[in-house]
Amino acid sequence: MTTDTEGWVRVCATSELLPGEMQTAWDGDTPILVFNHDGELYALEDRCSHEDFELSAGEFDPATGTIECVLHGAKFDVRDGRALCAPAYEPAIKFPVKVHDGAVWTRDDRD
């Protein structure tokens, strides 16, 4: 993956992330999971807030806009990261996404 001059990380070409699909990118040590939910792009840290486990191992349900952690069944809204059921109570961290020159970009914007 390449990084442009603004500090954004290239995820993939827009044609490689169709509605109902997800892709993982890395910004340094931070895994970021990018979702295409009905043509809108959203990004969350690829980590369940309940237990440090990859959300990308779970099932993205494009009909409801949710991702379920396979470890204990916690669900998160991909649009804003909020936890929808126990055992997760804290949201997943949300990151910005942009489309530029036919590619999808994201970044860890925490200070």
Range of the domain at 68: 9-106
Tell me the pLDDT band of 93, cut-offs 50, 70 and 90. very high
Q: What is the mean pLDDT of residues 30-34?
A: 98
Residue labelled with tokens 């890395």: 26
> Residue 55 domain-assigned?
yes
Q: How many CB atoms lie within 10 A of CB 30?
A: 17
Q: What is the pLDDT of residue 6?
A: 78
Q: What is the pLDDT of residue 76?
A: 98
Q: What is the pLDDT of residue 42?
A: 98
Question: Model-level pTM greater than 0.75?
Answer: yes
> Residue 2 domain-assigned?
no
Q: What is the mean pLDDT of residues 63-91?
A: 97
For residue 9, pLDDT beyond 70: yes
Tell me the pLDDT band of 5, cut-offs 50, 70 and 90. very low
Domain CATH code at residue 71: 2.102.10.10
Comparing C-alpha atoms, which of 101, 109, 88, 111 is closest to residue 44?
109
Give the mean pLDDT of the chain.
95
> Residue 4 domain-assigned?
no
> Domain count of the chain?
1
